[in-house]
Amino acid sequence: MDLIETLLKDKIITRRQVEDAREKQAGAKKPLSELLVEIGAISENELTKIDSRVYNMPVTNLDEEKVDAGAIKLILSDTAKHYYGIFPLRVEKDILDKDIPVVATSDPQDIVTLDNLKLVVNMQIRPVLSSKSDISRFIEKYYKLDDALYDLLKNVITDAQVSIVGGEKIVKADFNLGEITDEHAPIACLVNIIFTDAVNARASDIHIEPRENFVAIRYRVDGDLRHVIKIPNNLHAPLSARIKVLSGLDVAESRRPQDGRASLKINERKIDIRISTIPTYYGEEVVLRLLDPKESRTELSRIGFEYEELVIFKESIIRPEGMILVTGPTGSGKTSTLYAGLNAVKSETRNIITVEDPIEYLIDGINQIQVNPQINVTFAAALRSILRQDPDVILVGEIRDSETAEIAFRASLTGHLVFSTMHTNSSVATINRLLDMGLEPYLVSSSIILIVAQRLVRFICQYCKEEHEPEARIIEKLKCHIDGLGIKKFYKGKGCQKCNFSGYFGRTAIFEQFKINEKIRAFISNKSSEDLILKETRHAGLRLLVESGLRKAAKGLTTLEEVARVADVQDDNIVVNKPVDLEARFKLLVADDEEDVVDYLQKRLAASGYDIIRACDGKQAIEFSVKERPDLILMDVNMPNMDGFEAIRILRSRLETASIPIMILTARQDKTDELKGLDIGADDYLTKPFDFEKLLARIKMLLKRRGK
C-alpha cells in the first residue's frame, strides 16, 4: 500500500491536507511526504516510523550510530549533497561476504537516487531510514565541515599511520585515517596528513599562520620556509584545537602564548614535536618543531667536521677546565655541536649538568635543566644552583647577559669545563663582544680555550648533482680563497623530485675554530684591536668560515653559491624562498608534448586573462607545479619521460600540490582511461579535439569549485 493511502486510512492526515500539499508540490520539486511535514500535517518522526512500516525498511537514530570513515570516503561530499538526503553510515558484509554500504535515507520511495548511488559506488546498497533533518545535520557535520577540506582529503593519496606515544601530559589516544569516529575526525585526518607530509618533505618546522582570508601552512626544509598550502579560515580553530589536544595544551586559551610537547609515531618513525602558539592579529599562530631523535646530530663524527677540524675540537674539549664557545646566528647548528661535545666528554665519572632554553634533545646520563623565568629559573639563577651541585662539565644554553657571562666565566676558571653559545658573527669578534658586556680582559683571556663560529650549508642533492660553472661575480668575490685552495671544479644540483627541485638535500656545518694561544692571551689582556688579534690567529693557522665552506664545495658536498651566502651574511642566514604570490592572476599549467597544442592554448587562454606556464612532459609538469603553484593544470596523457597519469599520481601524493585542480586533456578516447584518470585524482577529463568555449567553461567551473 502507498504511504499517503496508509496515512489517510489510519486517519493521521486528512484529504484536505493532501490537497494542500499537492498544491505546494506544483512549485517545489519535493516529495509529497516532505511537504506534509512542512505544512504540519505530520511530524518528521512519525513519518519515518510509518515509512518504515510501509516500505519495510529499518529505522535508525543517527546520533546512536558509529559512523565509519570507510563509508564516508566511499561516498564523496559531492554525491552525498547531490543526492540530498542520503548519508553513508558504515560498510557491512552481505551473505556472499561482499562489501555493502549502509546508507541512511529519508525517502524510501526515491528509487532513482538509490539506484544511481549503486552505480556511483559500484556496489549494492543497504538503505535504512532516518529523518531528513537528522541526515542534513550529519551531512553538515561530516561533509560540509569544509568542502575544501574534503577535496583535499579526497585528493591526498596517503597511508599515514599516526599515533601519539605521549605528550607532556600523557594523552591516551590512537587515531588513524581508517577511523573517523569523533566529531573532529576530518580535522584529525588533516592533522595526520600534515604531519606525515611534513615528515616526508623532511621539514624541521610546520607553521600554521592565519592570514586575512585564509590560513597558510608552511614548512621549513633545509633552513628555508616554503609555502605548502592555503586552507580556509574556518578550519583554523578546529585545527589548532586538535594540535593543542595532542600536545596537552589548554584548548580554551588562545590569547596567551603556550608551549607544549608531543611524541608521535608516524609510519613507525618516532617524532618528537615541540609546539608553540602565539596570538597574532588574525588568530593564533601555531609553530611545530619536528625532532627526529634518530636524526639528532649528537655525535662529533656526524655534524660536519673535516678531519683537521675535528682534531682541534677534540683537543680542546679534553681539557679539565676552561670555556668553549660556539657562536653563530639562530639556526646555525650551535646546539648540535654542543650536544656532540657533551656526548664526547660524557663518562660515568663526570657530573654533567646543562641549563637550556629550550631543551632540544634529552641526552642519556646528563642532567638537563629548563630555563623558566616565570618561576625565576633564569640562566644566571640556574647556573648559581648548578655550581652547588659539584659539576665537572656545565652547558649554558646561551650567554645573553653580563650576569650569566660573569658566572659562567668564573666557573670555567675554577675547575669546570663550560660549554656555551653566543650570537656573534665571527670567532674573533666574540672577544670584543665579551669585553663590551663588561667582563674583565683577564677573565676572558685566561678562561677561553676555543671559540667556534659556525654556519649551516645545504648539501648538494646527490640524486641530481652535476658539474657547474658558478657565476663570475661569485668566483670573483671569493677568488683569493679559491686560488689559495687550488679549486678547479664546482658542482650543483640540477633539481629533481627527491630534492623538491631545489638541488639541495640536507645540511651540514662549516666551522671557523679560533684557538687561544699564549700570544693571543696577551693581546686580549692588553685589549688589542680585533685586526691585530685576527692577524695573529691567521698566522697561527685559523681557517676562516669561507675556507671551511670552500673545502666542502671542492669535494662536491655543497655549492659555491651556498658558501658565499652563509659566509658572507652579517646577521641572519635564513633565506626565505621567493614568496609565492598568493593573490595574483590565475596561472594555468599546460602540460603537453605537442607544441602546436600548447601554442594554441596559450594564445586563447592568455586572451581570456590567464597566465600560462608551459611544460613538455610529466616531469616538467611536476617541477613547475612545485615551483610555480599553478591554480589549475591541463594535463595530456601521452607524453615522453613521464606520462600524465604518473604525474597526477605524484602530484596527488603531496600536500602542496594535492589540491591543485587537474583536467586531463587527451586525444585518447578510451573510457577506461577516463575512469583511471579520475580515479587517481584528476578532477575533469576532456578529449581532443575540444571546443575551446567548452574548455573555458570547465576551467572556470573547476576554479570556482576550489573557491578561486
Residues within the interface to Zn ion (CB under 5 A): 461, 463-464, 493, 496, 498-499
CA-to-CA distance for 333 and 338, rounded, in angstroms? 9
Q: Residues 6 or more apart from 146 whose CB is under 8 A from it?
A: 186, 232, 234, 235
Q: Least Å distance between CB 145 and Zn ion?
A: 38
Nearest to Zn ion of 186, 618 (CB atom): 618
Q: Which residue is nearest to Zn ion (CB)?
A: 461
* Residues 511 and 305 sit within 8 Å (Cβ to Cβ): yes
Read off the DSSP letter of residue 255. Answer: S
* Residues 622 and 651 sit within 8 Å (Cβ to Cβ): yes
Q: Least Å distance between CB 566 and Zn ion?
A: 20
Strands 504-515 and 448-460: antiparallel
CA-to-CA distance for 643 and 640, rounded, in angstroms? 6
Helix or strand run (H / E) with residue 449: strand 448-460
Q: Least Å distance between CB 472 and Zn ion?
A: 25
Nearest to Zn ion of 235, 496 (CB atom): 496
Triad 261, 262, 268: Cα angle to 5°: 150
3-class DSSP assignment, residue 320? coil
Residue of 589, 591, 586 whose CA lies nearest to 613: 589
* Residues 7 and 13 sit within 8 Å (Cβ to Cβ): yes
Q: Least Å distance between CB 222 and Zn ion?
A: 12
- Cell readout for 59 is 529505522
Nearest to Zn ion of 463, 600 (CB atom): 463
Triad 115, 118, 152: Cα angle to 5°: 125
CA-to-CA distance for 508 and 559, rounded, in angstroms? 12
Q: Least Å distance between CB 465 and Zn ion?
A: 8
| Cα distance between the two ends of the chain | 50
Identity of the residue numbered 69: A
CA-to-CA distance for 692 and 696, rounded, in angstroms? 6
Which ranges of 318-401 would DSSP assign to H, the alpha helix? 334-345, 379-387
Q: Least Å distance between CB 498 and Zn ion?
A: 5
CA-to-CA distance for 558 and 69, rounded, in angstroms? 46
Nearest to Zn ion of 494, 565 (CB atom): 494
Residue of 675, 631, 704, 659 whose CA lies nearest to 150: 659
Identity of the residue numbered 16: R
Nearest to Zn ion of 212, 467 (CB atom): 467
Cis peptide before 101 (omega within 30 of 0): no
Nearest to Zn ion of 361, 463 (CB atom): 463
Nearest to Zn ion of 504, 645 (CB atom): 504
Read off the DSSP letter of residue 569. Answer: -
Q: Least Å distance between CB 553 and Zn ion?
A: 17
Q: Least Å distance between CB 344 and Zn ion?
A: 33
* Residues 91 and 102 sit within 8 Å (Cβ to Cβ): yes
Helix or strand run (H / E) with residue 452: strand 448-460
Residue 269 Rama label (left phi>0; alpha psi -120 to 50; beta): beta
Nearest to Zn ion of 553, 590 (CB atom): 553
Identity of the residue numbered 202: R
Q: Least Å distance between CB 628 and Zn ion?
A: 18
Nearest to Zn ion of 391, 493 (CB atom): 493
Nearest to Zn ion of 433, 458 (CB atom): 458
Cα-Cα-Cα-Cα torsion 78, 79, 84, 87, nearest 10 degrees, comes to: -110
Cβ–Cβ contacts within 10 Å for residue 668, how many?
17
Nearest to Zn ion of 363, 464 (CB atom): 464
Nearest to Zn ion of 210, 493 (CB atom): 493
What DSSP letter does each residue of 54-71 carry, written as one string?
HHT--B--GGG----HHH
CA-to-CA distance for 83 and 463, rounded, in angstroms? 49
Beta bridge partners of 493: 465
Beta bridge partners of 420: 325, 396
Q: Least Å distance between CB 495 and Zn ion?
A: 6
CA-to-CA distance for 665 and 699, rounded, in angstroms? 12
Q: Least Å distance between CB 500 and Zn ion?
A: 8
Nearest to Zn ion of 222, 547 (CB atom): 222
Nearest to Zn ion of 623, 646 (CB atom): 623
Q: Least Å distance between CB 563 and Zn ion?
A: 19
Residue of 225, 228, 226, 253 whose CA lies nearest to 240: 253
Q: Least Å distance between CB 482 and Zn ion?
A: 25
Cis peptide before 661 (omega within 30 of 0): no
Helix or strand run (H / E) with residue 530: helix 530-539
| Site of grid cell 575526525 | 185
Q: Least Å distance between CB 462 and Zn ion?
A: 8
Q: Least Å distance between CB 502 and Zn ion?
A: 7
Nearest to Zn ion of 499, 660 (CB atom): 499
Q: Least Å distance between CB 534 and Zn ion?
A: 38
Nearest to Zn ion of 426, 502 (CB atom): 502
Sheet of 393-396, strand order: 367-370, 352-356, 393-396, 417-422, 322-327, 448-460, 504-515
- Cell readout for 563 is 658558501
Q: Least Å distance between CB 622 and Zn ion?
A: 12
- Cell readout for 612 is 600560462
Nearest to Zn ion of 493, 661 (CB atom): 493
CA-to-CA distance for 73 and 359, rounded, in angstroms? 41
Q: Least Å distance between CB 464 and Zn ion?
A: 3
Nearest to Zn ion of 411, 464 (CB atom): 464
